[in-house]
Amino acid sequence: EDQVTQSPEALRLQEGESSSLNCSYTVSGLRGLFWYRQDPGKGPEFLFTLYSAGEEKEKERLKATLTKKESFLHITAPKPEDSATYLCAVQAGTGGFKTIFGAGTRLFVKA
Amino acid sequence: DTEVTQTPKHLVMGMTNKKSLKCEQHMGHRAMYWYKQKAKKPPELMFVYSYEKLSINESVPSRFSPECPNSSLLNLHLHALQPEDSALYLCASSQDQAVGETQYFGPGTRLLVL
């Protein structure tokens, strides 16, 4: 069964304290892995799409990487405004068109 | 521009009411989606439209009725909802329905059913 697991469930950081969020997946034929940021009561905001192992993408303080089994979202020197829920989602060839979301990691950054 | 708009932002309705949610995108995307999201849970797919035709219905109760009048608009008609249907309803769009296409989400409609 296709599955996406995010860890940790929640992460509390001090401002400037770099860390990583993990998204592990078990799917057959990965076709795309997506990272979104979601603020409370708002729609998910697209961050990155990764397609193949070894791929990396960066945007401001965020960097996403992909291996054959997992993806990491690295946050460098986070600020309080980075506090949000970060969602990982995958699409796989055997899953038809369905996008499988992880449960998310809630990030809290304290000033 | 990767904007998907949704109206209304908030909606309160009784169980006997009929209401509609509206979603619009002007990115030329040919696939549009409705998701339902409960608090602290990931989005759950409800419907997918591809080239204005319904292609996926994830066994959603008939009290939810989607409509795609044209390639830019997506509606969700609501009738005789239950309190457990209260949630954030999200619309998304992508270039087309090909696997691997990035979906862009709207801000959502917060629905409360009394």
> Is the Cβ pair A103, B41 closer than 8 Å?
yes
**Are B43 and A45 in contact (CB < 8 Å)?**
no
Give chain B's contact residues with A (Cβ, < 8 Å): 2, 4, 6, 40-43, 45, 48, 55-56, 88, 90, 92, 97, 99-108, 110
Distance from CA of B12 to the nearest CA of A (A): 15
Taking CB atoms and an 8 Å limit, are B105 and A36 in contact across chains? yes
The share of chain A scoring above pLDDT 70, in percent, equals 96
Give the pLDDT of residue B1: 62
Confidence grade of residue B68 (pLDDT, cut at 50, 70, 90):
very high
pLDDT at A53: 94
Nearest to B107 by CA among A43, A80, A38: A43
Residue-level pLDDT at A27:
83
Bridge partners (DSSP) listed for residue A109: A13
Q: Are B69 and B75 in contact (CB under 8 A)?
A: yes
pLDDT band with cut points at 50, 70 and 90 for residue A22: very high
Output the DSSP codes for B37-94. E-TTS--EEEEEEETTEEEEE-S--TTEEEEEEETTEEEEEEES--GGG-EEEEEEEE
